[in-house]
Structure formats: C-alpha cells, structure tokens
Amino acid sequence: MAPGYEGKDVDNFEQDIVRSLQNWILYIEEHGVSHPNGPYKEFEIGRSIQYYVTDMICVLCFGHPFGFVAKHADCFEFLKTLEERLPIVEKFSIFTEVNHLLALVSHIPWLRRVLPSAGDSKGIGKIIGISRELVKNRIAEGIESRPDMLGSFLSHGLEPSLAELEITIALFAGSDTTATSIRAILLHVITNPFIYLRLQREIDSGIMDGSISSPAREDEVRKLPYLQACIREALRIFPPITYLRERVTPKDGDTLNGYPIPAGVNIGFNLPGLLLNDVFGCDARTFRPERWLDQEPAHLRNMESTMDFVFGWGATSCLGRRMAKANQSMFFVEVSHAAQSID
C-alpha cells in the first residue's frame, strides 16, 4: 500500500493537491471574502478547511472529489459521523479487549444492523458503499486503468474487499488528522503577530525572487525554513492524534529504561506529554518556531527524532506522511499567493 499513500503510483499526486487547494481558494474568494463596498460575509474557516481536505483525499483515492467544497456541506453526513465515532475509536484503541468482543458480537444478525453498512444512505456506511461500487467498476474496466491510490492498491495485489476497506480508512483517518493539523498551524500563526509577519515575509520573499513558483511545488515549500519551523512547532503543541498507540511486548518480554516488562503487555505512550519533553527547552509549553532554527545539529536531531512520534514509528508509522506534509506546506504558500491577489 505504501506506493499509493506515498504518491509513487499516483501520476498527478502533487498536481491533484494543488488543484484541490486552488478550487477551495476560488470558493473562498467568491463566498468568504468581504469587500469594503460590499456586504459583510461570515465564513467558518475551520469547517471549510475540513471540506477542502476531505475532497482532496477523495481526489487522491478515487480520482474525483465528492463535492464537499462545491456544495460547502457535509456530504452524506460523513464528517458528522466521523466526529461522533472518533471518541469511540480512541477508547477502543486503549481498551483493546473490547475489539475482540466487538468482532464476536458483530456476527450476530440483529447487532450488525447498528454497524455501518454499504447500504446506508449517509455516514461511513455510505462511503463504504461508494468505495465498493468504485472498486467493482475499477476491476471491470481494468485494475491499472487509473493512476490513483485505489489503482495502486489493486495493482499491487490487494484484495478488492481490503482495497474497499483501506480507501475508506484513508478517507476516515486522513481527512480528520490533516485538517486538524492545518487548523492548529493556522491558529497558532495568526494569533502571534510577530510570527505571522516573519512567515509572511519569508513566503513573499520566495515569491519575489522566483524560488517559489505559481503554483508552488512540494520541493520548493519544504525549503522554507521558517514555514517548516512553524509546522513542526504547531504539531508539537497541538498533535492531531493523542491516543496511546499501544504495542505488545514480544514473547520473551522486553526492558524499558531498565524495567523488565513481561511478554504480551500493551505498552503505550503519552504523546502530548512527550512533546513537552525537556529536549525542547524550558519553555516547551510556548509556541516558539525559532527553537527549530537556533539549535546545534546534534540537539536538533534529538528534537526531530522525538517529533517523529507524531507520525508513529516502525512498521506501523503513518503511510500518509508525505500527503500530510505536502498539504501543510502548500496550504500556507498558496493562501498567501491568493491573499496578495485579493489585496
């Protein structure tokens, strides 16, 4: 699945992200910008960002948006269902024994009616139904017919039923975490005037000297040091995922910090607490992007290795890391481009 998530099998991976972002910006310019001689427009940017991210992931997964931006509405009540179910999912990630019980009772016919189903008219079940139909159509027209994530999964031998499930999970998990991270970065930047001005100057300078294209490219935005520092710092202060991400100790047990741990024990970690570790300095609770720019190389590596836990680690690290990082960076550069044109 990695080639699909990492964009290696998606021919227009970067272009699809940019096009989705530009379509969202066009909607903002028409419906969310108030002009001096025009009517005042209220606009909820937080929810709107979630519409953009969800449609963008739909494009990467299926090759087309589902209409969240165009309608500027929660299509199929997907986001409503997502927000209602995520707290439950987080609890299941802690009390893992419940998962085994749920797997057993899900085979009871009358209980299955309360679980998401492909026949549902809304919510996650509706997305499952759309995914199932798209997988069926894709197989009928040829597995390698389209260079998107679904095509990648199928061409690498993933069974249709698992491809259907994986696409749904990508939309379910990726839309919430990516939107949350962008909103966290935006909140911390715009509520700190000096940080906002410094970031704006860096982006403006890149646009003026030609080091940032229009539209911006992924390799260009990753070279903006203050932007990347703002992104790291916001994710450190407000990580989009906070559950324990437990792992089970091996059959021979393990040793952590000198403490022997028996076999078969679930070990998790407190990510928000870890990201306030002393490695980030005595002011770790403060949003200060400069901390990522004024460190000795060895200490910076320690900070970066600790930050890597935001995306998990090992065989179960986040496969959508590139997509998330590209979105986080391109969002602020493209919005800055658009703001200049509006001015």
CA distance from start to end of the chain: 43
pLDDT higher than 60, residue 267: yes
- Averaged over 227-256, what is the pLDDT? 91
Among the listed ranges 28-32, 126-130, 238-242, which one has the minimum average pLDDT value?
A: 126-130
Which pLDDT tens digit goes with each residue over 147-164?
888 888 888 888 888 888
The reply to whether omega before 65 is within 30° of 0 (cis) is no
pLDDT category at 165 given cuts 50, 70, 90 is confident
The alpha helices in 32-159, defined as continuous H runs, are 45-62, 68-71, 78-94, 97-105, 109-112, 123-141, 149-155
Residue 137 has, within 13 A of its CA and on its CB side, a CA count of 9
The pLDDT assigned to 98 comes to: 66
Cβ contact 291:280 at 8 Å: yes
Q: Please work out, in degrees rounded to the nearest 5, the angle formed at the alpha carbon of residue 181 by the alpha carbons of 175 and 186.
A: 125
- One-letter amino acid at 243 equals Y
pTM comes to: 0.89
Residue 173 has, within 13 A of its CA and on its CB side, a CA count of 17
Closest CA to 156 of 144, 168, 146: 144
Please report, for residues 166, 169, 299, 321, the alpha-carbon distance to residue 75 in angstroms, rounded to integers and kept in the order given.
20, 17, 46, 26
Which pLDDT tens digit goes with each residue over 274-326?
999 999 999 999 999 999 998 999 999 999 999 999 998 777 788 889 999 99
Which pLDDT tens digit goes with each residue over 172-225?
888 899 999 999 999 999 999 999 999 999 999 999 999 999 899 999 999 999
Measured N-to-C along each axis, helices 45-62 and 321-342 cross at an angle, to the nearest 10 degrees, of: 130
The pLDDT assigned to 111 comes to: 60
The pLDDT assigned to 340 comes to: 74
Three-class secondary structure of residue 254 per DSSP: strand
